[in-house]
């Protein structure tokens, strides 16, 4: 299923109700606004976010008056489009790099969200930008995770630093960073342990690693299929460890779009990158305007 298919058609029914109108009024936008509200909720956007969105669009629509050569339905499309871009953070949010020495990117996230895959994808992405990378395996609880990272590293020709599973993740991280300095590596990408759900030991471990590495980026990897829950997760991780942004994975699945639409507004943190497939090349910056364009069809 096309990710935004339902949302797109839900919004279309809003514009369609304005065909033949001369101007947007308080009265004739009631029905279209109801459609927009329903479409957002069905796309798994949270109720408070939906409410604010609808209210802002309504206010703008009523105040806009007659615009020569632009039909009311097209006026509403434009207002909704701009508001969607704003909701998703406006501008693209670029990755930051350290002024000197290796840039450290710490990746966190629950189990199964695609974190290990993202490590390798991110290295491939950064390599294209001319940066050398190293992956560091700090998920010591699942030996299979270390192996998986090594296999992916080999596949994309990126070195992986690992130190088994007998020493503390923060120690591994420290040694990995030393290794990166020695080899003049530009970016160190640190894979951390995921859990099925948030727990204190996971957060404590992330705090430990953060203290030792002083990362430039701390990115939470979130599965787009979790819908509204994605925004709540980003908020929790941000409050607990202080993150710089999120990476949304599995945008190629039949997620309804709520995560992409809500994360920024709810958590205050930007989605920096999105994964839209299992191939190593399937990671790209999150462009709010392009995303809005896809939503509006
Ligand atoms: P981790 O437990 O968070 O490290 O998750 P993994 O990196 O092992 O990924 C879990 C599964 O999700 C694997 O089967 C990946 O191939 C798959 N996966 C990861 N990212 C994406 C994506 O963007 N799209 C799709 N369709 N699958 C993905």
Q: For residue 272, report the distance from its CA to the centre of ligand 1, in Å.
A: 18
Instruction: Give this prediction's pTM.
Output: 0.94
Q: Name the CA dihedral angle for 62, 260, 289, 129, rounded to a multiple of 10 degrees.
A: 160
Which residue's CA is the nearest one to ligand 1's atom 20? 114
- Of 122, 128, 117, the C-alpha closest to 104 is 122
Q: For the chain, state the CA radius of gyration.
A: 22
* 75: Cβ contacts below 8 Å, ≥ 6 apart: 24, 61, 64, 67
pLDDT at residue 256 in the model: 82
**Atom number in ligand 1 closest to CA 274:** 23
Q: For residue 268, report the distance from its CA to the centre of ligand 1, in Å.
A: 25
Q: For residue 114, report the distance from its CA to the centre of ligand 1, in Å.
A: 3
* 61: Cβ contacts below 8 Å, ≥ 6 apart: 24, 29, 33, 75, 76, 79
Q: For residue 20, report the distance from its CA to the centre of ligand 1, in Å.
A: 48
Candidates 111, 114, 140, 251: which one to mutate for ligand 1, based on the most atoms within 8 Å of Cβ? 114
pLDDT at residue 162 in the model: 93
pLDDT tens digit at each of 297 positions of the chain: 466 788 999 999 999 999 989 999 999 999 999 999 999 999 999 999 999 999 999 999 998 877 778 899 999 999 999 999 999 999 999 999 999 989 999 999 999 999 999 999 999 999 999 999 999 999 988 879 999 999 999 999 999 999 988 899 999 999 999 999 999 999 999 999 988 888 898 999 999 999 999 999 999 999 999 988 999 999 999 999 999 999 999 998 877 888 999 999 999 999 999 999 989 999 999 999 999 998 998
115 lines ligand 1 (CB under 6 A): yes
pLDDT at residue 1 in the model: 46
pLDDT at residue 55 in the model: 97
pLDDT at residue 69 in the model: 82
């Amino acid at each position: 299923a096309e990710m935004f298919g339902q949302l797109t058609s839900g919004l279309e029914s809003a514009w369609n109700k304005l065909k033949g109108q001369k101007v947007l009024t308080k009265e004739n936008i009631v029905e279209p606004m109801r459609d927009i509200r329903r479409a957002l909720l069905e796309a798994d956007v949270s109720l408070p976010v939906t409410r604010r969105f609808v209210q802002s669009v309504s206010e703008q629509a009523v105040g806009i008056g007659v615009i020569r050569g632009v039909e009311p339905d097209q006026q509403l499309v434009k207002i909704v489009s701009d508001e969607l871009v704003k909701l998703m953070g406006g501008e693209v949010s670029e990755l930051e790099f350290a002024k000197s020495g290796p840039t450290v990117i710490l990746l966190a996230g629950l189990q199964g969200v695609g974190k290990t895959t993202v490590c390798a994808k991110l290295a491939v992405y950064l390599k294209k930008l001319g940066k050398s990378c190293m992956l560091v395996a700090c998920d010591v609880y699942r030996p299979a995770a270390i192996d998986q990272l090594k296999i992916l590293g080999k596949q994309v020709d990126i070195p992986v630093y690992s130190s088994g599973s007998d020493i503390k993740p923060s120690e591994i991280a420290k040694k990995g960073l030393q290794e990166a300095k020695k080899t003049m590596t530009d970016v160190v990408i640190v894979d951390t342990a995921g859990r099925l759900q948030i727990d204190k030991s996971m957060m404590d471990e992330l705090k430990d690693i953060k203290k030792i590495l002083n990362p430039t980026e701390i990115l939470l990897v979130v599965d787009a299929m979790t819908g509204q829950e994605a925004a709540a997760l980003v908020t929790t991780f941000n409050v607990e460890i202080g993150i710089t942004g999120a990476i949304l994975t599995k945008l190629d699945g039949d997620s309804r779009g709520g995560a992409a639409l809500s994360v920024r507004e709810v958590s205050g943190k930007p989605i920096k990158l999105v994964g839209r497939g299992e191939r190593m090349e399937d990671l790209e910056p999150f462009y709010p305007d392009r995303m809005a364009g896809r939503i509006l069809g």
